[in-house]
Amino acid sequence: MSIGHTLLGLLEGGSRHGYDLKRAYDERFGHAKSLAYGQVYSTLSRLLRDGLVAVEGVESGEGPERKRYSITDAGVRKVEEWLATPEKPVASLQNTLYTKLVLAMLSGRDATEVLDSQRQAHLEVMRDLTRRKNEAEPGEQLVLDFALFHLEADLRWLEVAVRRLGRLTKEVPS
């Protein structure tokens, strides 16, 4: 995800301080990992340099001065372009799990054990995500569904791999 585009999108709702942007980002998008303050301010510096945001004002109070950032017309156009551009679908043909499976077969190890342990790991993560989803707000439920559906696809692949293991073992010379 592009942090810059996301911060610009958040600024479309009105001007904010860097601290407010970080908090809004973490609430909406920080489901797995919150955004570091340094990343917020370095991104804002680049956006400012590129003319996508402007400093609307500087407020002083207890502590350091706080800049209030607003999105420029160029920033709005940048967000519109980004939203209109589809994300590239990722077809992962260089998969670590596949590599482990082939190497297990090449070495004479039991490839079924590799698949079984991976299935268990997937199911544990899916149980945790499902629990979180049941307690989450609708926005977070959507991102958890995204993760769960990808894990489901992985499980389907694991099932196909188990069914093809006998034939694959004959194809992969040890």
CATH number at residue 23: 1.10.10.10
Mean pLDDT of 116-133: 94
- Of 84, 112, 144, the residue that ends a domain is 84
pLDDT at 174 over 60: no
- Of 84, 119, 135, the residue that ends a domain is 84
Rounded-to-integer distance, Cα 147 and Cα 154, Å = 11
pLDDT at 14 over 70: yes
C-alpha dist (Å) from residue 174 to 103, 109, 167, 170: 9, 10, 14, 9
Taking the model in full, what pTM does it have?
0.69
Rounded-to-integer distance, Cα 153 and Cα 157, Å = 6
Mean pLDDT of 64-91: 90
